[in-house]
Structure 1
Amino acid sequence: MTALADLQQHLTRFWAMPHHQDDALNAKLKEVQSWQQARLQKTHRELFEQPKNQLMADYFLTQLYGGEEFKLLAEQLARILPKAKKLERLAKESALEAGSMGIQAAIFAIELDLHLAQWLLAQDLPVNEENMLAAYRTVDEEDERRVQIANLKDVCYRTDKHLNSFMLKKAFALAKSTAYRHGYQPLYDFIDTGFKAMKPLSSVSDFIEPFCKRELSIIDQVHDTDNGSKPIAFGVS
């Protein structure tokens, strides 16, 4: 399966999610996503505020964790993908694969947060730390959250590999004007944003490894129900 065909499957799954036809659920999902973004910013403040990491932090919060910017991208891609076969000749397959993996990671994040939103809506509960902890534990997608973190790491290392290949980077840069001319700007820009976010990093592992380690620790705390304690790293009201 080509990267674009794979991407089409991811988008089909995204548009089949129930919040697109349910205003109350969509509103609750937005609340959950806003809470998640605030939680990520607080949990990883020291990492995110380092000057070299700021573009990468913004890429995570605005691109890989869903939200309104991703929905706009999905709407644009839905229009261009049916006629985007030419793009596979304009950009290297490895670059398209990196973009497809990033979009898949964003959709998976939305999917997991949607399940939390569905539970909170069914219980008529506001989005706060106590209720989010209850939602995490009731929905019980510990394994899926670990897969989410592994996917994010894979996206980062795959994109970094492409960025560090002179030939691939050059080919991608040369494809920009043609991609724009044929209306493929949204997908090109999504991939390019990932490249630009990683460029200031001396090593992508310096960002993604501590990020993933902390997130996995939080998953452990969230699902440690033996002592009933709150995860100390949530820290968001």
Structure 2
Amino acid sequence: MSKLAELDQLLEQYKQLNYHSDPILKQRLNEAQAWLKNRIQDTHHLLFNEPKHQLMAQYFINRLYGGAEFDDLAVQIERLLKYAHKAEKIIPENAIKTGLKSVGLAVLAMQLDEQVAKQLLKDYPVDQPIDDEMMRLTLIKVDQAEARQQQLNMLDDLGTSLDKYMRSFIMHTAFKMCKGTASKYKFELMYDFIGEGFLAMKPMKSAANFIARFTEKERLIIENVHSLKAHPFKL
């Protein structure tokens, strides 16, 4: 079986999202994700603003938490799957494994955020700006506590994989050597998606430690929301 079979399944899950054919839902999804990213940046500003963490913070916001950036990547993933045998020869196996974890996180983020966007459209006017109280009540209604905990567990697992596989000098060298071939077969976006993980790690001693600090606060926020605290996003 192809090492990229799991990527095919993830792409299918992504294609089944409703916002692709519903512009109103897509707009609300974009707004919900913008609120979430702003909230994440506010919650973790001390962690994110440490110089050694800034690249990893950007990777989180732009890659792992969904958004319009993933739409372009999904188009290339579909192309990549048509040439899976070539991709598997070009990209080192451990880089593929780590990339799959990152793509899985991005797809899960899109699925969860679309549920939030649908609930917002049910409960509020389409043009009402999203604020903290709207989001607090919406998150309680959609009851994603278990799924959000799964998302954080997947993040912790990604941190372990980044430290285990992506710090190898041999691995990094092999990955850099295949850049030209990736460009030749038009796999640049997927290559860059994985490559940004390499770059984000360079200034850091451990991706797992960074992610553990991030997920610890995120778990507190989940607990705050579902224990009905009045201001769950303020830590």
Question: Shared fold (TM-score greater than 0.5)?
Answer: yes
Residue 229 of structure 1: CA displacement?
2.4
Residue 76 of structure 1: CA displacement?
2.0
Tell me if structure 1 keeps the 8 A contact 2:63–2:69.
yes
Question: Which residue is equivalent to 2:2?
Answer: 2
How many residues matched?
232
Report Cα offsets for 1:183-215 as digits up to 9, x if no partner. 111111100011111111022233111111000
Question: Which residue is equivalent to 1:29?
Answer: 29
Secondary structure of the residue aligned to 1:135 is helix
Tell me if structure 2 keeps the 8 A contact 1:84–1:184.
no
Tell me if structure 1 keeps the 8 A contact 2:80–2:87.
no
Amino acid paired to 2:123: Q
Residue 230 of structure 1: CA displacement?
2.5
- Aligned partners of 2:60 and 2:120: how far apart in 1? 24
Q: Percent identity?
A: 38
Question: Which residue is equivalent to 1:145?
Answer: 148
- Aligned partners of 2:43 and 2:200: how far apart in 1? 20
Question: Which residue is equivalent to 1:76?
Answer: 76
Equivalent of 1:175, from 153, 173, 178? 178
Tell me if structure 2 keeps the 8 A contact 1:3–1:100.
no
- Aligned partners of 1:32 and 1:218: how far apart in 2? 17
Amino acid paired to 2:121: L
Amino acid paired to 1:69: E
Q: Could you tell me which runs of 5 or more consecutive residues in structure 2 were left unpaired when the two chains were aligned.
A: none
- Aligned partners of 1:166 and 1:55: how far apart in 2? 19
TM-score, structure 1 normalization = 0.93
- Aligned partners of 2:200 and 2:89: how far apart in 1? 25
Report Cα offsets for 1:102-134 as digits up to 9, x if no partner. 011011011111101000101125321111111
Deviates more, 1:108-117 or 1:3-12: 3-12
Question: Which residue is equivalent to 1:113?
Answer: 113
Residue 80 of structure 1: CA displacement?
2.9
Report Cα offsets for 1:38-82 as digits up to 9, x if no partner. 000100000000111000000000011111111111122223321
- Aligned partners of 1:232 and 1:34: how far apart in 2? 15
Deviates more, 1:25-34 or 1:147-156: 147-156
Residue 157 of structure 1: CA displacement?
2.0
Residue 170 of structure 1: CA displacement?
2.2
Deviates more, 1:131-140 or 1:77-86: 77-86
Q: How does 1:7-26 map to 2 (within 5 A)?
A: 7-26=7-26
Pair 1:232–1:173, CA change in 2 (3 A): closer
Report Cα offsets for 1:165-184 as digits up to 9, x if no partner. 22222222222211211111
Q: Could you tell me which runs of 5 or more consecutive residues in structure 1 were left unpaired when the two chains were aligned.
A: none
Question: Which residue is equivalent to 2:56?
Answer: 56
Question: Which residue is equivalent to 2:98?
Answer: 98
- Aligned partners of 2:2 and 2:200: how far apart in 1? 25
TM-score, structure 2 normalization = 0.94
Residue 35 of structure 1: CA displacement?
0.1
Amino acid paired to 2:194: I
Amino acid paired to 1:193: E
- Aligned partners of 1:200 and 1:138: how far apart in 2? 40
Equivalent of 1:161, from 160, 164, 176? 164
- Aligned partners of 1:136 and 1:54: how far apart in 2? 28
